[in-house]
Every structure is written in structure tokens, then in C-alpha cells.
């Protein structure tokens, strides 16, 4: 099912493939409407259990984002999230949950998800959080941010070479950028969609703390020499 927003889009990405997983149809529908405001013309896939999540990820290529409820049948915070992250390490995950306590959020973030959105958040805040994550950022609820800074934003001095923190796919994109390929050419080379490549490039800029492709390539070249 494709949800689109013709006007007022806050994020310019087109044709993203987003999986919304929740065992309540009403919640899935509400999230789909918010997602459509952040990513016009996105294609939404739905799942109502952990097994269905795995089925969608296994059968549908190039899922760009997962929005995942923790209370679905078959879900376990530690093993389920860790398993998904291990099998699909390049797909960002947003946990969407009724739980908003520090321990639940800390546990989820420790698995490497890209964000945690309590269901109590108003739609406009949820929209901003989704937009941030689509741009390569990480969202943590403000009321717990100070307690999990070590998870949400690892200290730079623990990563003397930031390329260590890049995912395999981000490293692939960076190598092709060094070859002078355009985003579309990189997408063709890797068999991915253009919006997916744009998200990886945006995430690269943030991780490497650079502003453009030239700086990113220069950084990569220097890192290879060190």
C-alpha cells in the first residue's frame, strides 16, 4: 500500500520503502499517515508480529526503514532486535513503544537502533523524529537523553578512526564516492534505490563530521594512509 502527501512535505525523499510493524491496525494506520508527511510517495509494508517482520525483510528488497513495536507477538527486546540488526545491519530501526521508562529505552538503544519514539509523543514530534532519522540522525526522547548519552552519542575519543564506526554499506558507498560516481551511479552499482543512497551519504557526512563529498573523500583517503 502506498501512502503519499502531495503538499507540505518536510523531507524530500521519494519512493522510500518503509516497514511499519505493530499488532494494532489503528496504530499502523496512524504511523503510515505520519510517515507519508516525512517521506512523500513512500511505500509502506505492514507486519503484526515478529515472524511477519522477518518475512517482509526476507522477501522485500531494499527496505529503507523499520518502525517496530516491542510488544508484538514473538518479540523480545534483546534477542529480536539483536537478530534483526545482525541480519540487516544497514536498515535503520525506530522503536515505537508504549514504554517510555529509562531502562526500556536504554535497553533498546543499546542494540543499535536509530531511534526510540514513545507512543505518547504528539504527531508533530513524531514527525520530526522520523525526519531526523531519515536524514541519518538518532532520536532519543528528551526526558531520558541525559541518562543514555553514552548509547545515543558515543564519545569521539573512543573512535580514533571514525571509519571504524561505518556500516559495511556506508563503507561501500564511500569507496564509490572516491571513484567519482554520482549518487545515481552508486545506486545502480550497489543495486539500491537513489533515496537509500542519499540517506547513506547523509549519515556518512554526520559520522565523518564533513560537509560535502569532497571532504568525505579526502577524509577517507587520509584514513586509508594512517
pTM equals 0.65
pLDDT digits (tens, 9 = 90+) for 133-181: 877 677 888 777 656 544 444 333 333 344 446 777 888 888 888 777 7
117: CATH:
3.40.50.2300
Q: Check whether 95 has a pLDDT greater than 90.
A: yes
207: CATH:
1.10.10.10
Is residue 129 within 8 A of residue 115, CB to CB? The reply is yes
Please report, rounded to a whole number, the percentage of residues in the chain having pLDDT higher than 70: 81
Q: Are residues 48 and 136 in the same domain?
A: yes
Question: 67: which residues sit within 8 A by CB, 6+ positions away?
Answer: 18, 19, 20, 21, 22, 31, 35, 93, 94, 96, 130
Number of domains in the chain: 2
Is residue 53 within 8 A of residue 6, CB to CB? The reply is no
What pLDDT is recorded for position 14?
Answer: 55
What pLDDT is recorded for position 133?
Answer: 80
Q: Place 132 in a pLDDT band, splitting at 50, 70 and 90.
A: confident
What pLDDT is recorded for position 96?
Answer: 95
Domain of 167 in residue numbering reads as 156-225
Give kind and range of the element (H or E) at residue 36: helix 25-38
pLDDT digits (tens, 9 = 90+) for 107-125: 888 888 888 999 988 888 8
pLDDT digits (tens, 9 = 90+) for 20-31: 999 999 999 999
Tell me how many degrees the CA angle 211-212-218 measures, rounded to the nearest 5.
100
| 3-state helix/strand/coil string of 88-112 | CCCCCEEEEECCCCHHHHHHHHCCC
Q: Are residues 148 and 161 in the same domain?
A: no
Amino acid at each position: 500500500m502506498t501512502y503519499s502527501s502531495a503538499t507540505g512535505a518536510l523531507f524530500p525523499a521519494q519512493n522510500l520503502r518503509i516497514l511499519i510493524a505493530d499488532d494494532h491496525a489503528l496504530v499502523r494506520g496512524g504511523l503510515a499517515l505520519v510517515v507519508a508527511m516525512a517521506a512523500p510517495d513512500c511505500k509502506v509494508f505492514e507486519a503484526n508480529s515478529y515472524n511477519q517482520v522477518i518475512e517482509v525483510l526476507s522477501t522485500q528488497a531494499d527496505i529503507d526503514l523499520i518502525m517496530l513495536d516491542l510488544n508484538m507477538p514473538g518479540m523480545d527486546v534483546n534477542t529480536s532486535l539483536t537478530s534483526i540488526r545482525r541480519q540487516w545491519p544497514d536498515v535503520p530501526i525506530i522503536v515505537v513503544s508504549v514504554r517510555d521508562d529509562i531502562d526500556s529505552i536504554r535497553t533498546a538503544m543499546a542494540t543499535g537502533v536509530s531511534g526510540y519514539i514513545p507512543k505518547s509523543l504528539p504527531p508533530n514530534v513524531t514527525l520530526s523524529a522520523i525526519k531526523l532519522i531519515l536524514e541519518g540522525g538518532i532520536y532519543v526522547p528528551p526526558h531520558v537523553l541525559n541518562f543514555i548519552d553514552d548509547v545515543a552519542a558515543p564519545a569521539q575519543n573512543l573512535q580514533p578512526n571514525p571509519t571504524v564506526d561505518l556500516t559495511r554499506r556506508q563503507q561501500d558507498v564511500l569507496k564509490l564516492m572516491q571513484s567519482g560516481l554520482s549518487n545515481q551511479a552508486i545506486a545502480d552499482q550497489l543495486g539500491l534505490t537513489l533515496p537509500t543512497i542519499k540517506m547513506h551519504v547523509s549519515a556518512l557526512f554526520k559520522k565523518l563530521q564533513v560537509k560535502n563529498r569532497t571532504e568525505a573523500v579526502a577524509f577517507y583517503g587520509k584514513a586509508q594512509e594512517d
